[in-house]
Homo-oligomer: A and B are copies of this chain.
Amino acid sequence: MKKREVIASVKDEKLVKKRRNEMIKGAISLFKQKGFHQTTTREIAKASGFSIGTLYEYIRKKEDVLYLVCDRIYDEVRERTEQDLGAHHGTIEGLRRAIAHYFRVVDELDDEVLVMYQEVKALSKESLPYVLNKELDMAAIFEHILRACVENGALQLSESEIRLFAHNIVVLGQMWAFRRWVLRKMYTLDEYIELQTEFLLKGIMEKQRV
């Protein structure tokens, strides 16, 4: 799916990229604290280091900021997760490592993941599909890994199961962010990864009917 274009008045593309980076950085730190609706465009401009007038040279509506922020966070999570994915591809060990790696990414970006989670619904009907599609891209990473394991004979899963388990992995990772208020009291990140990985793998691997 093609990116939704956020239209800027400024023509210089380098500048647009630079300013939007500043903007996204400023906005995320504000959204973390107060959420999208409680944050004013003036605050975003200030946190970004420019005036309200300039802000509107790079976006058309306040919602554009949210779109850019969500877009960026998804990319960040996905890109980081995809790093170091090469080794052990198509093996259980490879899957185990991918899960652990992804969980650590969520831990590092937990504020961002939370922001994204709590604010997507504020996106307009037009922007939403683009962002939800990114959610699918995340799942696709794990679908890809699972499918490779199946092809290698390391796992035996139907296509249906592959897709569901991929979502399960993604969601149980996000859960570390959106239930952190309780989970962090009970587990360290390492414990969480250890327990959930065992849980996931057992759920995925065994063939015999329970």
Contacts and interface: CB of A to CB of B under 8 A. Distances in A.
Interface of A: 35, 37, 92, 118, 121-122, 132, 135-136, 139, 160-161, 163-165, 167-168, 171-172, 175, 179, 181-183, 186-187, 191-192, 195-196, 198-206, 210
Contact of A199 (B122, B168, B198): B168
A157 to B, nearest CB: 11
B195 A199 contact: no
A198 B196 CA distance: 16
Contact of A186 (B122, B163, B191, B201): B163
A200 B172 CA distance: 12
B210 A164 contact: no
Given A199-B203, A202-B210, 20 more contacts: A35-B121, A118-B121, A132-B182, A135-B179, A135-B182, A139-B182, A161-B195, A163-B186, A164-B192, A165-B199, A167-B179, A167-B183, A168-B199, A171-B175, A200-B203, A201-B210, A202-B202, A202-B203, A202-B204, A202-B206
Contacts of A136: 182
B181 A164 contact: no
A84 to B, nearest CB: 22
A135 to B, nearest CB: 8
Contacts of A196: 164, 168
Given A132-B181, A175-B171, A92 B210 contact: yes
Give the top 6 A-B pairs by smallest Cβ distance, nearest first.
A203-B203, A199-B203, A37-B37, A118-B121, A201-B210, A202-B206
Given A35-B122, A181-B132, A198-B210, A167 B163 contact: no
A1 to B, nearest CB: 13
Contacts of A165: 199
Contacts of A160: 186-187, 191, 195
A122 B37 contact: yes
13 contacts: A37-B122, A132-B181, A132-B182, A139-B182, A160-B186, A160-B195, A168-B175, A168-B196, A171-B171, A198-B203, A200-B203, A202-B203, A202-B204
